[in-house]
Amino acid sequence: MTTLPPRAGRRCHSFLNPLHSTVYFSPDLTAEMAAIGVTDRGSAYFGSRAAAFGRVGAGAVTATFYGFAPSLVARHVPAVWDTAAPETVLAARLRAVDGTLRRLLGDDTVASAGMAEAAELALRAAEACSPAARPLYAAHAALPVPEAPHLAFWHAATLLREHRGDGHLAALLRAGLDPVESLLTHQASGHGLSTKWMLATRGWTEEELTDGQERLRGRGLLAADGELTEEGLGLRKELENETDRMDAAPYEHLGAAGVARLTELAEAFATAAFAAGAFPADLVGKG
């Protein structure tokens, strides 16, 4: 039986997740990857997120990243490993994380007692994560924990993020939502990528998105105006609830007081990162 307030883990995740994701929108990642020869932005993203797997092929990345068109993934993987080995990419990513957090949060915050506390709490929560059927989490859990507290915090946030994400994919499969449909229903909920960024980063064509909308309308999940129907809203709600259930262990392990404190610290860091322009203003939206 849960000892946590309702959706406490989800709320904590809502701040940890963007703190992990800042690096993928960071000029520091672009610069560090270019320094090792990876100058294409797509290759920098797929390489930096998939490097924990080792020299993995396009199939594994398509399966575990889920929302990306297979043709886009195949354009970058496994070719990126011919330019830079996974271990070289991982080192470049960690340098980029260091630069990104220092730029967005400031050196004082990076070196603060609060950052060290957040790292300790997040790592403690991650102790209860399970690798079973969670490939992205398991790959990252095999990496060493960085010594610097701000890098250890980012590493732990990554573990918690990928643990929840792997579970969420299982929920999507159970709901019968394919990658395009999952993106479109998330967008229609008001929390997903805008169409501009979906087209720019996920590799699907406008025709494929339109076909996905038609499939969702045929299932009664999406209305003619692009909004979720009552059934669609119920499906998205159950998706998140099921994801919560599969992601409860790390937050139960940390306990109510620990989760509340980690959420407080992560919220402060995430708020500062957003204010510093960590993400494009038009990244999220229904249109």
CA angle 255, 261, 266 (to 5 degrees): 120
One-letter amino acid for residue 167 of the chain: G
Instruction: Name residues of the chain where pLDDT drops below 70.
Output: 1-2
Nearest to 142 by CA among 72, 75, 85, 90: 90
The pLDDT, as a whole number, for residue 268 is 98
The pLDDT, as a whole number, for residue 77 is 98
Residue 222 β-bridge partners: 228
Where does residue 132 rank: exposed (0-12), middle (13-18), buried (19+ CB within 10 A)?
exposed
The pLDDT, as a whole number, for residue 219 is 97
Task: Cite the beta strand spans of 139-252 per DSSP E.
Answer: none
Nearest to 125 by CA among 17, 248, 254, 264: 254
Nearest to 123 by CA among 241, 16, 274, 36: 16
Query: What pTM was estimated for this model as a whole?
Result: 0.96
The pLDDT, as a whole number, for residue 2 is 63
The pLDDT, as a whole number, for residue 211 is 98
